Amino acid sequence: MSKKTRIIKKARAELSGDARPIAQAKGPADVLAMIPYLVGFFPSESLVIVAIEGPRQRLGPCVRTDLADADDAVAQAEYLASVVSHHGFDPVIVVAYSEDPDKAAAVVQPLQRRLRSQGVTILELLRADARRWWSYQCADRACCGPGGNPYDGDSSPLAATAVLAGMAKAASRDELRACFEPGDELLRARVAECCAALQAVTGPPDINRLVHIALRARGQLTVDQLAALASGVQSIAARDVAWELMTRSNAAEHLHLWAQVTRVAPDRLLPAVGSLAGFAAWLSGSGVLASHAAERVERVHPTYSMNRLLLRCLKLGVNPQEWEDSRGRLRVVR
């Protein structure tokens, strides 16, 4: 395995999709306030690239990956530059989150050279920790001294804007990962018992009706609802009906629904519901959440086709809007 292949496999970039840019940053502090909402959690030892869109320079899609070690830093920089090129991101903001300035610089410097050689404009090039930021582009010690510049993301007006828009951030990746991990054991046992009873009954469920009723509930689903959804999407046809109901505009609601089911579904029923949760996460713009859902499914069923498709979309950095556009064209053909 080549070094570049190892880097891509070890630190696959997480693309937020079209993150529905809602905010216009006025400086580094605003950018740093928004990034945790764009990626879903506060990054640490990470490299984040944010695309800037439109004449008003609003924050757009972003890419996050773990910072590579020094030996792999150049390969990681080349990979990230290829991601930027593939998606046509220009201009961009680059932030290395690290307490270690040398580790950050090992990736940032070759990435800066590569992006400039591609003609990409870098509006801000920063290193940040949880308290301060430093600029790689400003040499004025009066505003960008060696001690860095303090910032408080929670007090930024942009953070309030993000919350009002329904965006959320977790304290860490582990907290995000818990969205799809097995939940309360007693609840899981009750759901498993109910699933077994439902599957003993002949006749396919009306999955369209089940999903719409569950979406209207907008809260914690009952044991009967959880079991009906988990068992109801086990056939490919029924699963695809549930899948077809997802759009960019309602993906967050479907994510809330299928994440609940994923936490309580028996492992034998997990691949379908976990894949639906993963696709909903991806369509909603959270590549990070989608990757966690996909990892959970992969542990149970490594070859499940829908999950393999999701993993491929994540690996290639496919924009969810491209998926929706292609589905629209297929409907016209049919």
136 with 251, same domain?
Answer: no
80 and 213 inside one domain: no
For 253-277, write each residue's pLDDT tens digit. 999 999 999 999 999 999 999 999 9
pTM: 0.69
Domain end position, chosen among 140, 169, 198: 169
Q: Are 34 and 159 members of one domain?
A: yes
Q: State how many domains the chain has.
A: 2
Q: Which of 124, 144, 169 is the last residue of a domain?
A: 169
CA atoms within 13 A on the CB side of 74: 2
Task: List pLDDT tens digits, range 171-209.
Answer: 667 777 778 888 889 999 999 999 999 988 867 789 999
Task: Work out the number of other CB atoms within 10 angstroms of the CB of residue 295.
Answer: 15
Q: Do both 109 and 22 map to the same domain?
A: yes
Looking at the fold, whether 59 and 142 belong to one and the same domain comes out as yes
| pLDDT tens per residue, range 64-105 | 899 999 999 999 999 999 999 988 899 999 999 999 999 999
pLDDT digits (tens, 9 = 90+) for 200-239: 886 778 999 999 999 998 788 999 999 999 999 999 999 9
Place 11 in a pLDDT band, splitting at 50, 70 and 90: very low
Query: Checking DSSP bridges between strand 122-128 and strand 92-97, what pairing results, if any?
Result: parallel
C-beta of residue 231 within 8 angstroms of C-beta of residue 202: no
Of 316, 318, 317, 281, nearest in space to 296 by CA: 281
Domain containing residue 327: 176-333
- 3-state secondary structure string, the chain? CCHHHHHHHHCCCEECCCCCCCCECCCHHHHHHHHHHHHCECCCCEEEEEEEECCCCEEEEEEEEECCCHHHHHHHHHHHHHHHHHHCCCCEEEEEECCCHHHHHHHHHHHHHHHHHCCCCEEEEEEECCCEEEECCCCCCCCCCCCCEECCHHHCHHHHHHHHCCCCCECCHHHHHCCCCCCCHHHHHHHHHHHHHHHCCCCCCCHHHHHHHHHHHCCCCCHHHHHHHHHHCCCHHHHHHHHHCCCCCCHHHHHHHHHHHHHHCCHHHHHHHHHHHHHHHHHCCCHHHHHHHHHHHHHHCCCCHHHHHHHHHHHHCCCHHHHHHHHHHHHHHC
Same domain membership, residue 28 and residue 118: yes
- Same domain, yes or no: 181 and 76: no
Is residue 11 domain-shared with residue 130, that is, in the same domain?
A: yes
Do 153 and 188 lie in one domain? The reply is no
Q: Which of 145, 169, 193 is the last residue before a domain boundary?
A: 169
139-175, pLDDT tens digit by residue? 777 777 788 889 887 777 666 666 655 566 666 677 7
For residue 206, what are the contacts with CB-CB under 8 A and spacing of at least 6?
none
Cα distance between residue 83 and residue 219, in whole Å:
38
CATH number where 66 lies = 3.40.140.10
In this structure, are 79 and 227 located in the same domain? no
317 shares a domain with 192 = yes
- Tell whether 41 and 130 lie within a shared domain: yes
